[in-house]
Amino acid sequence: MTTTFLANRPMPYCRGCGHGLVVRRLNDALVRLGLEASQVVLTSDIGCVGLLDPLFPEIHTVHTIHGRSTAVAAGAVLADRLLGDGRMKNIVAIGDGGATIGLLHLAQAALMNVDVTVLLHNNMLYGMTGGQHSALTPEGFVTATTGSGNWVPALDMELFVRSCQGPYFARKLATDNDLGDVIAEAIDFPGFALVEILELCTGFGVPLNHMKGSSLRAMVEEQGQRLGVLVRRDDRKPYHEVYRARFPVVAAPDGPEPAVTSTPLPAVAAAPAFTHGLAHPTSIVLAGSAGEHVQTAAAILCQAAVLSGLHCVQKNDYPVTVGTGFSVSEVTLDTEPILYTGVDAPDAVLIVSADGLNEVRGRGDLSRLAPDGVVLADAGLPLDSLPEQTLGLPLRATLTGDQAALGAVVALVHRTGILTPGSLLAAIDVLGLRNRDMLRGVVDSAVGLNAVESPAARSVRG
Amino acid sequence: MTLARAASPALRLRSGNQMVVEGALRAGCRFFSGYPITPASEIYREMTNRLQGRGDVALGAPDEISALSYCIGASQRGVKAMTATSGPGWALMIEAFQYALMTETPVVVTVVQRLGPSTGGATQGGQGDVLLTEFATSGGYTVPVFAPSTPVECYALAVQAFNWSEVLRTPVVLLSDKEVGMTYEALDLARLPAVEVWERPAAHPEGYRAVQFGAPEDVPPFAPVTGPLKVTLTGSAHNKDGRLRKNDPETLQVLEHLEAKVASRAGEMALVDADLQEDAEALVLSYGITSRAARAAVRLGRAQGRRLSFLGVLSLFPVPVAAIRTAAASAGRVVVAEENLTGLYRRALAGAVPDLELHGVNAVGHMVRPVDILEAL
Considering the entire predicted model, what is its pTM? 0.94
* Portion 234-253 of B in contact with A at CB < 8 A: 234-236, 242-244
Pair A35, A125 in one domain: yes
CB contact under 8 A, B192 and A260: yes
Domain co-membership, A286 together with A242: no
Q: HSE-up of A97 (CA within 13 Å, CB side)?
A: 19
Cα angle, residue B44 at apex, residues B39 and B48 outer, rounded to 5°:
160
Convert the pLDDT of each residue in A50-72 to its tens digit. Answer: 999 999 999 999 999 999 999 99
In a shared domain, residues A290 and A420: yes
Per-residue pLDDT of B54-83, as tens digits, reads 999 999 999 999 999 999 999 999 999 999
Q: What is the dihedral of CA A419, A425, A430, A434, to 10 degrees?
A: 140
Handedness of CA A383, A388, A394, A395 (dihedral sign): negative
Q: Indicate the number of domains in chain A.
A: 2
What does B7-63 look like in DSSP terms, one character per residue?
--TTEEEEEHHHHHHHHHHHTT--EEEE---TTTHHHHHHHHHHHHHHT-EEEE-SS
Q: Distance between CA A440 and CA A450 in Å, rounded?
A: 19
- Do A241 and A298 belong together in one domain? no
Are the beta carbons of A243 and B57 separated by less than 8 Å? Answer: yes
Distance between CA atoms of residues A113 and B280, nearest Å: 63
Smallest Cβ–Cβ distance between A38 and the set B122, B189, B227 belongs to B227
> What is the structure's pLDDT at B235?
97
Residues A233, A127, single domain; the answer is yes
Q: Which residue of A has its CA nearest to B79?
A: A79
Residue from A22, A27, A21 nearest A6 by CA? A27
Dist CA B183 CA A330 (whole Å):
10
B100 vs B69: CA distance, rounded Å: 9
Could you tell me which chain A residue has the CA closest to the CA of B299?
A339
Q: How far is B322 from chain A (nearest CA, A)?
A: 26
Query: If contacts are CB pairs under 8 Å, which of residues 162-201 in chain B contact chain A?
Result: 179, 182-186, 189-190, 192, 194-195
Contact A192, A106 (CB under 8 A): no
pLDDT at A214: 85
State the complex-level ipTM: 0.96
pLDDT of residue B355: 95
Distance, CA of B314 to CA of B148 (rounded, Å) = 6
Assigned domain for A242 exists: yes
pLDDT on residue A448: 77
Which residue range forms the structural domain that includes residue A370?
A: 282-446
- Nearest CA to CA, how far is B167 from chain A (Å)? 19
Ordered alpha helix ranges (H), A284-400: 294-307, 354-363, 395-398
CATH code, domain with A144 = 3.40.50.970
User: Does the distance separating the beta carbons of B289 and A339 come in below 8 Å?
Assistant: no
Question: What is the mean predicted confidence (pLDDT) over B84-109?
Answer: 98
Q: Which of B9, B12, B226 sits opposite A80 (nearest CB)?
A: B226
**Residue A191 shares a structural domain with residue A294:** no
Q: Given an 8 Å threshold on Cβ–Cβ distance, is B225 in contact with A62?
A: yes
Contact B344, B366 (CB under 8 A): no
Selected residue of B56, B225, B284 to mutate for chain A interface (largest A Cβ count, 10 A): B225
Q: What CATH number is given to the structural domain containing A400?
A: 3.40.920.10
Parse chain B into domains and list their residue ranges: 11-191, 272-376
- C-alpha distances (whole Å) from A165 to each of A99, A238, B60 are 17, 12, 18
Beta bridge partners, B312, equal B273, B286
The reported pLDDT for the residue numbered A459 is 43
- Whether residue A248 is predicted with pLDDT greater than 70 in this model: the reply is yes
A311 with A226, same domain: the answer is: no
What is the reported pLDDT for A257? Answer: 46
What pLDDT does residue A253 have? 59
* pLDDT confidence band for B342 (50 / 70 / 90): very high
Contact B26 A257 (CB under 8 A): yes
Quote the pLDDT of residue A389.
85
* Reduced DSSP (H G I as helix, E B as strand, rest coil) percent helix, strand, coil of chain A, to 5: 35, 20, 45
Tell me, which fold does domain B272-376 have in CATH?
A: Rossmann fold (3.40.50)
H or E element: which one contains A63? strand A60-63
If 0-12 CB within 10 Å is exposed, 13-18 middle and 19+ buried, where does residue A230 land?
middle
- Report the distance separating Cα A166 and Cα A162, nearest Å: 6
User: Which of B77, B231, B273, B361 should be substituted to probe chain A, the one whose Cβ sees the most A Cβ atoms within 10 Å?
Assistant: B77
Q: Do A342 and B190 touch (CB under 8 A)?
A: no
Could you tell me if A412 and A311 lie in one domain? yes
Percentage of the residues of chain A whose pLDDT score is greater than 70? 93
Kindly state the average pLDDT of the residues B339-356.
97
- Interchain contact, A259 vs B22, CB within 8 Å: yes
Q: Which of B231, B235, B292 sits opposite A340 (nearest CB)?
A: B292
Determine the residue type at A17.
Answer: C
- Non-local (6+) Cβ contacts of B313 within 8 A are B147, B271, B272, B285, B286, B287, B291, B320, B323, B324, B345
In contact, A300 and A306? CB cutoff 8 Å = no
Residues of chain A neighbouring B13 (CB-CB closer than 8 A): 299, 302-303, 306, 312, 314
Give contacts of A60 with chain B, Cβ < 8 Å. Answer: 225-226, 230-232
Strands (DSSP E) found in chain B = 11-15, 31-34, 57-60, 81-85, 107-113, 145-146, 171-177, 183-188, 232-234, 272-275, 280-286, 308-313, 315-317, 331-338, 358-362
- Cis before residue B39, ω within 30 degrees of 0? yes
Rounded Cα distance, B82 and B31, in Å: 7
Question: Using one digit for the tens of pLDDT, what is the confidence trace for B292-318?
Answer: 999 999 999 999 999 999 999 999 999
Verify whether the Cβ–Cβ distance B6 to A337 is below 8 Å.
Answer: yes
Tell me, yes or no, whether A48 lies in a domain. Answer: yes
- Interchain proximity A57–B230, CB inside 8 Å: yes
Which residue among B75, B189, B236 places its CB closest to the CB of A63?
Answer: B236
CA-to-CA separations, B177 to A172, B23, B87, B126, B174, in angstroms, rounded: 51, 16, 10, 6, 10
Whether the CB-CB separation of A71 and B65 falls below 8 Å is answered with: yes
Rounded percentage of chain A residues whose pLDDT exceeds 90: 82
Q: How confident is the model at residue B216 (pLDDT cuts 50, 70, 90)?
A: very high
Q: What percent of chain B has pLDDT over 90?
A: 93
Q: Which residues of chain A have a CB within 8 Å of the CB of B30?
A: 83
| Cβ density class A308-332: b for 16+ within 10 Å, e for less | bbbbbbbbbbbbeeeeebbbbbbbb
Nearest chain A residue to B72, by CA: A72
User: What is the reported pLDDT for B187?
Assistant: 85
Other Cβ atoms within 10 Å of A129 Cβ, number:
12
Structure confidence at residue B115 (pLDDT)? 97
Order of strands, sheet of B81-85, starting from the edge strand that comes earlier in the sequence = B57-60, B31-34, B81-85, B107-113, B171-177, B145-146, B315-317
**B11-191 and B272-376, same CATH topology:** yes
The beta-carbon neighbor of B55 closest among A247, A302, A310 is A247
Burial of B118 (0-12, 13-18, 19+ CB in 10 A): exposed
Query: In Å, how far is A55's CA from the nearest CA of chain B?
Result: 11
- CB of B142 within 8 A of CB of B7? no
Q: Is 3.40.50.300 the CATH classification of the domain at B11-191?
A: no
* Pair A192, A168: CB distance under 8 Å: yes
